[in-house]
Structure formats: C-alpha cells, structure tokens
Amino acid sequence: MAIVYHPTGSYPHDHWSLHSQSVDDDHFIGHVSVDSLLYTIYANPTDCTCLRIIVALTDLNDMRSALNRAYTPAEDAGLTFTASSIRMRLQEQLGVIVQILILGNNAHWLDAQGRVNVGHDKEPGFLHAHLLFRGDPTRIYAGTEPLRGPALGVAFPMQANERHSWSSAHLYKFIADMRRCLCGLLVDLESARLRCHKSFYFVRHGETDYNSQGRIQGHIESSLTERGVLQAQAAADLMRNHRLTPSMIYSSSLQRAMRTAEILRSTSNIPITFYDGLREQNAGDLEGQPRQAIDPDVLASLKDGLDKKGRVNGAETFHCFMNRVCYTVGRILSEQNQEENGPPPLLVSHGGVFRALLRLTSQGVFESDNAVLWRFDPPAASAAAEWTLTRVDQDS
C-alpha cells in the first residue's frame, strides 16, 4: 500500500513551513552546503530546553519541493553528515555531549483506508534532525541561561509538556555563540557571490500596468501593457538578429515574467522552466502603492538593506532576498551542462533580481529598463578580475 503525500500546493505563500528556515527568522543560525544540497540550522522555536538545534533540508528556490515527499539516499546522507559535523564541532568547543535524533515530526497519520499519510494542512513532513546538548543542567554552555533538561543518563522527553521559552537575551547570545562555534562550517550565500562561473543572459520583463502607473509590484500580478508586449517582441527580434539561442529559459513564476519569456521564445522549441526563486522581492504592505507616496527611507530599507526605518510589514528583507537570488541562480548555473562554447541560459525576471545580480557579481548597481537584454560573463578561471556585464543591442 503506497504512502500518500499531502499536496504542498495547498500551503499558501505565507504558511509558516515555507518561511521558518528564512534568514529573517530570529532563530536562524546558518546554512550548511553538502554538494548541491542545502541544510538550514536553527534554534528550536518553541523550546530552549537542552538548547535544541534543528537541521533541515532546505530549498531556497521553492521550499515546497522539500516537503511531503520521499527523500533520496544522498539527501539522508547529507543530513547525517551535517548533523555529525555540527556535533563534533560543538563537543570540541563547548565540552557538551550532543545527541542526534532523526525522528521526523508529528505530521504522519492514517486515513480511513488505513494508508499512511505524510503532512497535513497545519504541518508538513520534512527531512530534519534534532541536536540536543547534554551536560550539567545547571551550567551555562551557550547563551545566557542554564542548559536545563534531564541529567546525563536520563532520556530526553521529546513529548514533555513542560517547555522553556527563549528570552530575547538568551536567544540572541545563543545564536551568536553558535555562529562563532560553527564558523567555517556555515556558508554565507550572499558573500560567497556566484561561485558557479558560467555565462548567462538576463532580461527584465516588459512594461506592466503597474510600471506605467509608478506603483510597487512585488508579488502582485500586473499584466504587460501593449508597449510591454512590443518591448518583449523587440528583444526576441534582437536575439534572432544576433543568432542567440539560449540553452534554456528560466523564468520567474510571476505572470509578467512568464508572458515575457513566452514571447522571447517565440517560435523556437527552447524549453522554459519557471522558478519561484526568480520572483521579485516581496514588498509586503508596500505592494500596490504609488512610489511617490512612499518615504524614500522606507524604500531604501527594502531595496538596499539600510534599515533606516525598520522592516516593512510582511516584506522580504534585503538580506533574505539576496540569499534567495544567489541560491537560485547558483543552482540554475550548476545544473547547466554548458560546454566551453555552448550557448548560455536566459533568465527572465525582475528589476530587483537584476540589482541583486549586480551586487552578487560586484557590479555598480543601477536599474534596468524593461526587456533589455544583458549578458553576464564570469572572470577567467586564472584571473582575479570580476564578472563582465554587457548590454546586447543592435550595434553590439
């Protein structure tokens, strides 16, 4: 009898499981990369007993793809390797025993037909492990408060009713202590830049209704204007005139980018893959508002991470957005079996993603007009130079 997996498409974009492993979360410690897989390390959000850490398989492009499914031996092995590496580091530096528990979660249940189901509306099944600190319950090993929990030799009660919440000071210090202990093991996706040195083309979508009205779009859907369609057609003509045939087209899953990608493909058979990770930065409460009506410092907090006016309610922070773009584009390029003289892929996305790529490739930051074709080329393997950015036009 087959296992039934709850459809991940039923989770709305604001479901906790799609964001609990975000760098914006107060409990976030860091990422560990194992080959092409990524694992998030974070403090247990609901209980600081035994300073419990969670390690979970993560997909920054689309977290749904990491939920409610069977996992490969490589993914299982990556989880074990990550948890074991953390355990060794913490035992050496803090003098505690670190126990690894790979138990799954409580999102498993039997339906009326007696079939095992994984995941439900409130909680999905996901690949993760718990790491428990075991030592003197009265001693402070990390953070600002004692370890608590049972004495050595006594099993940790995973289903215990008594839980200890994190205080702000304890959590802040604990996260800092963990990052210090795990330095060198954790990866900073943004500061790592684009490690996969392969060329690619980029096109921002054609003009939309909101573009013409001067409104913030973010994740709100806005159709291409007549001018936007003509812009995309002109970009498609430019590609034909230059005999540019990308190996693949990767598009944001927002309609304005998807429509532009379809026009760019025109009559060719180039496959298009749609990625949530190429979406525009989520602007939260600012979406739909006229730009002129928004405090410039608030926009700077969102677009540049300057935090002059604090976080915009419901918005994706600058650093979280940068990490998402870096991870998604790095993954796309690493999957490309690009021959030395083979055609690069084409990315169809948004103005915010373009600015993020400029930062990730050490370019000066500026805005791209709608439907302009750009080419990013990595430095030579033996050179210390930066990436090269070229605008492709009729004269180039």
Residues forming the active site? 205, 280
Number of H helices, E strands in the chain: 8, 14
List, in order, residues 6 or more apart from 218 with CB less than 8 Å away.
280, 281, 282, 283, 284, 286, 287, 315
Alpha-carbon distance of 244 to 270, in angstroms, equals: 12
The DSSP call for residue 215 is B
Per-residue buried b or exposed e for 173-199, using 16+ beta carbons within 10 Å of the residue's own CB: bbbebbeebbeebbeebbeebbebebb
Nearest one of 48, 49, 46, 56 to 83, comparing CA atoms? 56
- How long is the chain? 396
Nearest one of 44, 262, 294 to 156, comparing CA atoms? 44
- Apex 370 CA angle, 348 and 286, nearest 5: 90
Strands (E), the chain: 4-5, 28-34, 37-43, 53-58, 97-101, 108-110, 116-118, 128-134, 200-204, 249-252, 272-275, 346-349, 373-377, 388-392
Strand arrangement, sheet containing 128-134: 28-34, 37-43, 53-58, 128-134, 97-101
Q: How many CB atoms lie within 10 A of CB 12?
A: 7
Q: How many CB atoms lie within 10 A of CB 382?
A: 6
Contact between 44 and 130 (Cβ < 8 Å):
yes
Nearest one of 47, 59, 54, 55 to 19, comparing CA atoms? 59
Q: How many CB atoms lie within 10 A of CB 94?
A: 17
List, in order, residues 6 or more apart from 296 with CB less than 8 Å away.
none
Residue 114: half-sphere exposure toward Cβ, Cα within 13 Å: 1
